[in-house]
Structure 1
């Protein structure tokens, strides 16, 4: 016995609808441009694969990336802990693995090793990798 074509079509359609994902709605990942905006404090310094110790003073150093494409960086050094240097400039993300920074007439590309909602890892052409942790909004340590 042949089943009528409309019934086969309806059964196939119902089967396809019932085979959806059971994992709930998918959450879209934020773009790098959104993830990088914020206050990032220095957490780790790695020189050509070798971790170097950071003092609590060094860990006060930070980058602040703003949504308008500007960047503000402050570095601390020494004992007693003192302000070392400050820099402002512009940044862009040509792709998900490149951070382009212009400051004081100089420009450089840095490799983004990792960028998540909590971690930023930048590799410089010199072989130095700086790892940062995001500070909660409205709660910068400096």
Structure 2
């Protein structure tokens, strides 16, 4: 499972914002996003199933959730570098949170990072689908 994250989702949002604010232009932010994806552990082949696939993404994205000690942990993968970075960002944001924390997350990070303006329409829709699946998996746990 993904590494244990500490702090609330809001705290993690602030940390991610600080990480991205170091970069002045979007080319550098995209490179950082790709680096986040490169740091995501590979998902075991047996988890790359249709049931674990995020629907609504142009790229292939798989997401797995496990519950332990009242918290939900996510593992994910994608066949696209930028999309893998996006799901890595979400794993970093949500993994280790409770179902209530995930369900009640404000997610202002999307607008605050500028993703709404800088992602293509299909990527933005896919990103929203990833968030929906994370929230759905959390509510089922």
Q: TM-score range by the shorter chain?
A: under 0.3
TM-score (norm 1): 0.28
Compare the two structures and name the one with the higher strand fraction: 1
TM-score (norm 2): 0.28
Larger Rg: 1
Compare the two structures and name the one with the higher helix fraction: 2
